[in-house]
Chains A and B, each alone.
Chain A
Amino acid sequence: MKKLLFQSTLGMVLLLFSSNLFAQDEDLLKLLGNEKTKKERVKYAFKSPRVINGHSMEFLNPGTMDFRILHRFGQLNQGYKNFFGLDQASMRMGFDFGILHNLMFGVGRSTYKKELDAFIKYAPIRQSTGPWSSPVTFALVSGITMDGTPWADPNRKNFYTSRLAYYFEAIIGRKFSEAFTLQIAPTMVHKNIVPFEKDPNNIYALGIGGRLKLSKRVAFTWDYTHVVIGMPDSGYYNPLSIGFDIETGGHVFQLHFSNSTGMNEKAFITETTSRWGKAEVRFGFNLSRVFQIKKKKVGK
């Protein structure tokens, strides 16, 4: 009796086993075992390589060119007489190029101070998932600006280098979710020449920028830079921009309000003279159009 019980139990177990094998038949893909998770870059943290004014943790794709037209209008508090600032505009035209997934450069020209600027941006670490991944993107930006206005005093000995200023920036950013991205950007601006003797040549600042996606094509963005060391005593303020990114298929429109006029790092970090508190805010937009210069090879 015992023996029979044992046999039938064994038989049942084996049957169960074999029916298990049949059950696996249902999902053939399971037969291949679990895929090893691969390291994968986290993409599309921002719609554009710029948050609003400042650089974002995102890069242009290799082989693309971003043609950027930036406008900053006059102050809203000018009222109807200047149509709330829209009668005046300051602009910057820029061309940015994506070389590698983590390397890009760009040049631009602003009407404000007739400034030329150029930068190079590189990310040694990009946010990724999977083995050996990094929770954040770490990017470095180095840029130069050149003032194009005539010399204030043509009679004194003027040096070409007096027109130049430099900026160095580190960006540490993370795309926390599909909707939310946050980054901080310690920045240093060096001006070769400053208006007054007591003004510092080196300015240290901390940028905080982010994005909150509201829908597939619209996002709320903000971009604030706090000057930590080196703000001149009076008349200068920290730049804050808030706005919306709207993606229309081929273009990205960044519509925003900001208290800064400048559109390069030196100008908006160290030369913002308006205040949010006094409604000295400007409407502005960045229009970005990405062109594919070199097509990616996907083959047949």
Chain B
Amino acid sequence: MKNLLVTILGVVITMNCIGQKYYTKNAKINFDATTPSSPEKVEGINRTATCVIDTKSGAMQFVALMKSFEFERALMEEHFNENYVESSKFPKAEFKGELKDNEEIDYSKDGTYTVKVKGILTMHGVSNEVKTDAKIIILNGKISATAEFSAKLEDYKISIPGLVADKVAKSAKITVSCSLEPLKN
């Protein structure tokens, strides 16, 4: 009987130790492939990306529906979905990574940190490693995070036809910002 109690206790402790997770379903991802020779802004915004961070391990994950990227110009949105990212074939972009210096962040009190993020971004069916700096702000028990990096379209097998090659950047600037809340299981 004693053994049983110990086992149960052990399990309960491990469960508690899994740590706190924070999440949002309204992360904002901005995609900008404007070049100086673009006649118009080549920019799309997704406001409904999902992000989860495990503050104990520093693991983090993002997922965004490609169809949720909105553009000022309807035709650009059509071309983005139909010709470039092929959103019906590859509906999601996913990032799976970790905060490198997670142990330096004290999630229990307010503060601002710059940390390294490393992970794998999967988009258009192709996975590539992404490394960047993220700014993390802890305020009143909530986490705000912003990060910026660039993705070479070629690396994700997104081809730009010759006719518009000078109007779309070879490398897209991707800006992510989100505000996370504790996840209650």
Contact = CB atoms under 8 A, between A and B. Distances in A.
Given A14-B8, A31-B21, A21 B71 contact: no
Nearest to A215: B83
Interface in A1-43: 7-8, 10-11, 14-15, 17-18, 21-22, 25, 27-29, 31-32, 40, 43
Contacts, number: 100
B74 A62 contact: yes
Interface in A231-271: 247-250
B122 to A, nearest CB: 13
A295 interface: yes
Nearest to B88: A178
A29 B96 CA distance: 10
A86 to B, nearest CB: 25
B136 interface: no
Nearest to A289: B75
B117 to A, nearest CB: 14
Interface residues of A, number: 39
Contacts of A299: 45
Given A11-B7, A21-B18, A28-B60, A61 B75 contact: yes
Interface of A: 7-8, 10-11, 14-15, 17-18, 21-22, 25, 27-29, 31-32, 40, 43-44, 61-64, 98, 178, 216-217, 247-250, 290, 292, 295-300
Interface of B: 1, 3-4, 7-8, 11, 14-15, 18, 21, 23, 25, 44-45, 50, 52-54, 57, 59-61, 63, 67, 70-75, 77-79, 81-83, 86, 88-89, 161, 163-164, 183, 185
